[in-house]
Amino acid sequence: MADKFDTTLTTTSGNPGQDVLKQAGARLAGALPYGMKAEGHGGQGGAAATPWIRVFDPAAGGRGTDGLYLAYIFASDLKSVALTLQQGVTVFRDQLKTTGQGLRTHLAVRAQSLLTELHRGLVADWTDQPQFKHHGWRARAYEASSVAARCYEIDRLPSEGDLCADLGNMTTILKAALDVEPLIEVVSEPSGPIVEYTGHAHGSYKGLDGFRPKTGDDYVVQIAAREERRKQVHEGLIQRFGPYILGRGFTPVTEQVHPRDLVLQAGGTEWLVEAKAVKKGNSTQAVREAVGQLLEYSHFWYTQKNEPKPYLLGLFSEDIGVYASYLEHQGIGSIWSTSERWEGSASAVAWGMADES
């Protein structure tokens, strides 16, 4: 593609590189993991300064304007290409109403936050920083928004087998990032320069050897000349729930249960718990995600391993209203935090996890 693409031609004037991009989906179909699709983008009207091929899971979004997706992005000199895990930059441009440093700072903070949530071994070999060699806002935003990447020199590309293996590995990283993205919240504040990322701290509790949740404290990420603060609602929810449920006679376990959020044990019985922060009162989304993950983890971690089937419990940061009875109908109990106490559904009350309201 690089030897055929001409940035001086329009997208409809016989640019052979554009034809290659348009055929990217069909050409890559055989190399893509199940369910993934690819499509090329060479510009609209005029040729793109940094042409790219998007690789995405249609079920997970990642349309290029928003969401997470993979992309092969070519530098403007067409001498290198990066396979990168990208955040859709357009949605943040529209939210922040800027294409300048403010946008790049926001994207970089968010990229670092996502990277920190991913397992270190998964991303250890994906630390390249793409340089697309163009002053346009999109190219610079793509550089800032890259979560993980590997860069290739066009005249020294690996073998096709190695490229396919790299794509497969990056697909695994994408799926992991999609799981943790709902936990990421970057909030811009009006003042305060930022320069370092502090990472996670873990809380510890006497008598709870297997319960070491990440702390729920806000922590400051510092980059450029702006302060941004991540609120760890999800981790704080688990942190507060652990000591409470211990007092109810249940042993909470967070160690060696990943990707499950939390497991409760009592009298030889186990409860599989999925914690969800209800964002901006949107209990619908939180409940949908909880149901999907509880059923998935119950199947793969218990049924397929011939382990006794656990009870299922959704843990929420606030009242989920009518969805409590909906979850009960699905065989899932629920418990949520209020300003004064913990309340729960009929199953949670019957299990002794909450009092009748």
Tens digit of pLDDT for each residue in 15-32? 655 667 777 777 777 778
Helix, strand or coil for residue 155? helix
Question: How many domains is the chain partitioned into structurally?
Answer: 2
Give the chain's mean pLDDT.
81
What's the confidence (pLDDT) of residue 273?
Answer: 96
Same domain? 153 vs 270: no
Any domain includes 315:
yes
Any domain includes 202:
no
What's the confidence (pLDDT) of residue 196?
Answer: 32
Same domain? 165 vs 252: no
* Tens digits of residue pLDDT in 184-233: 766 554 443 232 333 444 444 455 555 555 544 444 444 443 333 334 56
> When comparing pLDDT for 198 and 312, which is higher?
312
Any domain includes 117:
yes
Any domain includes 5:
no
For residue 34, pLDDT beyond 90 = no
CATH of the domain at 94: 3.30.920.90
pTM of this prediction?
Answer: 0.52
Same domain? 147 vs 22: yes
What's the confidence (pLDDT) of residue 222?
Answer: 43
CA-to-CA distance for 53 and 142, rounded, in angstroms?
13
Residue 31: what are its φ and ψ, rounded to 5°? -100, -10
What's the domain range around 38?
16-182
> When comparing pLDDT for 140 and 113, which is higher?
140
User: Strand 342-344 relative to strand 332-337: parallel, antiparallel, unpaired?
Assistant: antiparallel
What's the confidence (pLDDT) of residue 357?
Answer: 65
What's the confidence (pLDDT) of residue 192?
Answer: 33
Same domain? 175 vs 256: no
Any domain includes 211:
no
* Tens digits of residue pLDDT in 251-310: 999 888 878 889 999 999 999 999 998 876 778 989 999 999 999 999 989 998 899 999
What's the confidence (pLDDT) of residue 112?
Answer: 87
Same domain? 173 vs 59: yes
- pLDDT > 70 in the chain, percent: 76
Same domain? 74 vs 157: yes
- DSSP for 5-25, please give it: --TTSBTTS--HHHHHHHTHH
CA-to-CA distance for 317 and 277, rounded, in angstroms?
5
What's the confidence (pLDDT) of residue 17?
Answer: 58
Same domain? 142 vs 255: no
Any domain includes 71:
yes
Give mean pLDDT, residues 144-169: 93
CA-to-CA distance for 223 and 195, rounded, in angstroms?
4
